[in-house]
Amino acid sequence: MRHRGVLSVACAILMASAAWPALAQTGGKSITIVLPEQPSNLEPCGSILTDVGQVLNQNITEPLTIIDPQSGTPEPKLATKWERVDDTTWRFHLRDGVKFQDGKDFNAEAVAFSIKRMISGAFNCNNLAKFGSAKLTVTPIDKLTVEIKTAKPEPILPTLLSVAMMVSPNTPADKAVNDPVGTGPYKLNAFTPQTVVLDRFDGYWGKKPEIEKATYVWRAESSLRAAMVQTGEAQLTPAIAIQDATNPATDFSYLNSETTAIRIDTGLAPLNVFRVRKALNLAIYWQGLAGLFGADVIRASQMVVPGINGHNPDIKPWSYDPEQATKLLEEARADGVPVNTEIRLIGRNGIYPNGNEALEAMMSMWQAAGLNIKLTMLDVADWNRYMQKPFPPERGPTLVQIMHDNNKGDAAFTVPIFYHSSGQYSTFSDPKLDIRIDEARDLTDKARTAAFQEIFAEVHDQIAPDIPMFHMIGYTRVGPRLNWRPNLTTNSEIPLAEIRLKN
């Protein structure tokens, strides 16, 4: 067995070296980062997506505020301070002397342009989903002061604005772009089907980064990503599978802010029946499935990690009860529910290490319980069609593999997206629940926490629109040239300015 393991590693290294001769070992102050998947685009309005955010966030584009990953509180970035004028108005004071990478000034007019572009509806904006039903009106007061008014009280607007990326006023306002221009420490050099290349922006307002150039490539296989860093063809890969995290000197685990789940399309039979959705949760052997993700992975009962305001510690994860799952399906069938209807399980290639294997295992368990499940793996662009509205009308009943990142400190970044009728990812409509969600967003302090906790409990116990899986442990391989470690935000951003080179 030992010889076979050595041979496997050697083969992986040889494959990596042979497959990418153009990626000579990076030296000097340039690095190569190998991602699990090709970015679907480079539109700043989609930077909440892992594949986009890891390239753009804090590199090309920056927001007004950033969130401290430990406390979950907003801190200054392009805004230096802010205050609440009244229940529906916030005033933000902007950093002076900041330039966009095309030479345009960053000022109140640029903020108004960026936010209006985000909320315009002229094109699909994933980041807008984080705002739920919030309606924003942006008014420049002077060059470095802007007021943002909301249609109703929005007590965490500074937190929400951490996902609103500021873009140059030269950016088209009516269409998505793949050549973003922001205020960050790096500017886009190239975006091709093979690579993304970023160059250091010497006009950056902040401290000059040490890394001069970053080249991003993408390889689907975890073992090959790990081998590229091992051989020096790359210096960093943010995600490898647990079975590839074998070198304590270069491989680091961390509790990230991601929650994996399966989103259930509750609008189509047989998934429109609660008993069927409950059976889907009970049919999974959770202890065995956890083996794909590591000993420290945490079973999820809801779509936010512990520590997020609104997380309900009293909700228990679904247990493994295959007999009860089968019984529920038999009862539904007896009542005329078309349980035998084919259900499509939609997975996304490269969504997280061992993601394909997890879906194959879950499909087998659901089939054993008596469901007709067909697995379809898609690349991110096609997967997005099933993930967000408008859903394909011909889709049929579907289960969609998802991974949701909430490192912003509040359930408002989760609940409206998944459970409000207008939510970008929501598959059901409950007007009474909509009212409760809207009311929860207007509350503060303990009342806000309690309201979101009650919503999570109702969603889990009475609706079951999803199958919560795990709060994830990430595994990252960092080459010996770099002085850098992953943290809670690594799934949504890899700030190049924080990477240092060892002497």
Separation CA 304–CA 256 (nearest Å): 11
Across the chain, mean pLDDT equals 91
Kindly report which listed range (16-30, 381-395, 450-464) carries the lowest average pLDDT score: 16-30
Q: What pLDDT, on the 0 to 100 scale, is given for residue 132?
A: 65
Q: What is the pTM of this model?
A: 0.80
Q: What pLDDT, on the 0 to 100 scale, is given for residue 350?
A: 86
pLDDT digits 0-9 by tens, 432-483: 999 999 999 889 889 999 999 999 999 999 999 999 999 988 899 999 999 9
Separation CA 1–CA 454 (nearest Å): 52
Split at pLDDT 50, 70, 90, the class of 339 is very high
Residue 130 CB burial class (10 angstroms; 0-12, 13-18, ≥19): buried
Tally: H helices and E strands in the chain: 13, 21
Q: Token digits for 387?
A: 């993930």
Q: Token digits for 103?
A: 């030479």
72 vs 117, residue with greater confidence:
117
Question: What region, left, alpha or beta, does residue 496 occupy, with left being phi > 0 and alpha being psi -120 to 50 degrees?
Answer: alpha
pLDDT exceeds cutoff 90 at 15:
no
pLDDT digits 0-9 by tens, 72-91: 789 999 999 999 999 999 99
Separation CA 158–CA 42 (nearest Å): 24
> Which has the closest alpha carbon to 79: 150, 151, 138?
138
3-class SS of residue 150: strand
Upper half-sphere CA count for residue 117 (Cβ side, 13 Å):
24
Q: What pLDDT, on the 0 to 100 scale, is given for residue 133?
A: 64
Element (H, E) at 142: strand 136-142
Secondary structure letter of residue 24 according to DSSP:
P
Secondary structure letter of residue 457 according to DSSP:
H
3-class SS of residue 157: helix
Q: What pLDDT, on the 0 to 100 scale, is given for residue 19?
A: 40
Split at pLDDT 50, 70, 90, the class of 409 is confident
Query: Phi/psi of residue 55, each to 5°?
Result: -95, -45
Write down the domain spans for the chain: 2-16+23-59+184-250+479-501, 62-166, 255-473
User: How far is C-alpha 350 from the geometric centre of its chain's CA atoms?
Assistant: 13
Contact 443, 437 (CB under 8 A): no
**% of the chain residues with pLDDT over 70:** 94
User: How far is C-alpha 460 from the geometric centre of its chain's CA atoms?
Assistant: 22
pLDDT exceeds cutoff 80 at 130:
no
pLDDT digits 0-9 by tens, 293-325: 987 889 999 999 988 899 999 999 999 999 999
pLDDT digits 0-9 by tens, 268-281: 999 999 999 999 99
Return the HEC string of 380-426.
Answer: HHHHHHHHCCCCCCCCCCEEEEEEEECCCCEHHHCHHHHHCCCCCCC
Separation CA 276–CA 427 (nearest Å): 15
Q: What pLDDT, on the 0 to 100 scale, is given for residue 408?
A: 77
Pairing of strands 251-264, 466-478: antiparallel
Q: What pLDDT, on the 0 to 100 scale, is given for residue 255?
A: 79
Q: What pLDDT, on the 0 to 100 scale, is given for residue 311?
A: 95
List Cβ neighbours of 437 (8 Å cut-off, separation of 6 or more): 132, 415, 416, 419, 420, 455
Name the CA dihedral angle for 319, 322, 327, 329, rounded to a multiple of 10 degrees: 90
Q: What pLDDT, on the 0 to 100 scale, is given for residue 27?
A: 61
Q: What pLDDT, on the 0 to 100 scale, is given for residue 307?
A: 83
pLDDT exceeds cutoff 50 at 23:
no
Q: What is the mean pLDDT of residues 115-130?
A: 88
Contact 410, 309 (CB under 8 A): yes
Which is it for the CA torsion 140, 68, 128, 118, positive or negative? positive
Give me the CATH code for the 62-166 domain, please.
3.90.76.10
Q: What pLDDT, on the 0 to 100 scale, is given for residue 9?
A: 36
List Cβ neighbours of 178 (8 Å cut-off, separation of 6 or more): 41, 42, 43, 191
Q: Does 2-16+23-59+184-250+479-501 carry CATH code 3.40.50.720?
A: no
Structural Rg of the chain based on CA atoms = 23
Q: What is the mean pLDDT of residues 34-39?
A: 94
Separation CA 123–CA 174 (nearest Å): 7
Contact 70, 166 (CB under 8 A): no
Name the CA dihedral angle for 233, 49, 211, 166, rounded to a multiple of 10 degrees: 160
Count, residues in the chain: 503
What fold characterizes domain 255-473? Dipeptide-binding Protein; domain 3 (3.10.105)
pLDDT exceeds cutoff 70 at 26:
no
Q: Token digits for 314?
A: 């009293």
**Residue 140: beta bridge partners?**
146
* Per-position b or e across 149-176, b if 16+ CB within 10 A of its CB: bbeeebbbbbbbbbbbbbbbbebeeeeb
Greatest extent of the chain over all pairs of C-alpha atoms, in Å? 71
Q: What pLDDT, on the 0 to 100 scale, is given for residue 491?
A: 84
Q: What is the mean pLDDT of residues 60-77?
A: 89
Q: What pLDDT, on the 0 to 100 scale, is given for residue 433?
A: 97
Q: What is the mean pLDDT of residues 237-264?
A: 93
**Residue 315: beta bridge partners?**
none
